[in-house]
């Protein structure tokens, strides 16, 4: 009887997982890189900020102000609930933070002194 009830709970949970894909995150970039239409020599940094959001990392090269963006927000932890007995659900938290606390930038935009886009560096495929 108890085993039957336990199996039913597991079935409902698995079925829910199939039906529902869960929620999407909203802390990431405001647009995917593929959906941006930035033009080198024309687009300014205000436009980049309004399309993608503020950069995750900022640095400077000799001539350019560099804005870095990760492709997606960093996964920094998991909380898993596991039925461990018919009437017991145990939760397990997994901390995935690292010392840097930053996702490595995968797209880097370079701006000149006037804030105009001069360079786009796609670190995902190492192409410019």
Partner 1 sequence: MIFRAFVFLLSSIFFAGCASTTLAPETSSGIQKGKVTTAAYTVDKKIHYEEMVYKVLYNETRTQQAVFEDFWDIDKAHTDLLTLALNNLDLDASPGLTALSEETRAELEKNIKLSLEEAKQGEPEPFKLENTTRSTLMGAGYDYLVLLRTSNIMVTTTSMIDSATIWLPSSLIVLDLEENRQAYNEALIIQSLATYEESVRELEDNDLALIRKATQKQLAEGLEKRMGDILAIETSL
- The contact set with partner 1 (CB under 8 A) reads 13, 16-17, 20-30, 45-47, 49-50, 53-58, 67, 70, 73-81, 101-103
Q: From residue 59, how far is each of 28, 81, 91 by CA, in Å?
A: 20, 41, 40
Nearest CB to partner 1, comparing residues 80 and 114: 80
Smallest gap from residue 1 Cβ to partner 1 (A): 25
Q: Are strands 107-111 and 117-122 parallel, antiparallel or unpaired?
A: antiparallel
Q: Nearest approach, Cβ of 40 to partner 1 (angstroms)?
A: 20
How near is the Cβ of 41 to partner 1 at its closest, in Å? Answer: 20
Name which of 40 and 89 has its Cβ closer to partner 1: 89
| Complex with partner 1: residue 100 or 127, whichever CB lies closer | 100
Quickly tell me which residue has 């930038």 as its tokens: 105
Q: List C-alpha distances in Å: 106 to 43, 72, 73, 76, 127.
A: 19, 9, 11, 18, 11
d(CA 116, CA 42): 6
Rounded to whole angstroms, the Cα distance separating 117 from 128 reads: 13
Task: Tell me the closest approach of the beta carbon of residue 51 to partner 1, in angstroms.
Answer: 10
Pick between residue 1 and residue 20 the one whose CB is nearest to partner 1.
Answer: 20
């Amino acid at each position: 009887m108890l085993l039957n009830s336990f199996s039913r709970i597991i079935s409902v949970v698995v079925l829910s997982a199939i039906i529902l894909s869960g929620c999407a995150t909203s802390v990431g970039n405001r647009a995917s890189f593929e959906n941006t239409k930035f033009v080198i020599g024309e687009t300014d940094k205000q436009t980049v900020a309004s399309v993608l959001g503020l950069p995750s990392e900022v640095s400077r090269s000799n001539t350019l102000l560099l804005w870095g963006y990760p492709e997606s927000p960093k996964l920094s932890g998991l909380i898993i609930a596991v039925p461990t007995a018919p009437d017991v659900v145990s939760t397990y938290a997994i901390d995935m933070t690292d010392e840097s606390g930053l996702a490595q930038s995968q797209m880097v935009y370079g701006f000149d002194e006037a804030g105009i886009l001069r360079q786009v560096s796609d670190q995902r495929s190492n192409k410019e």
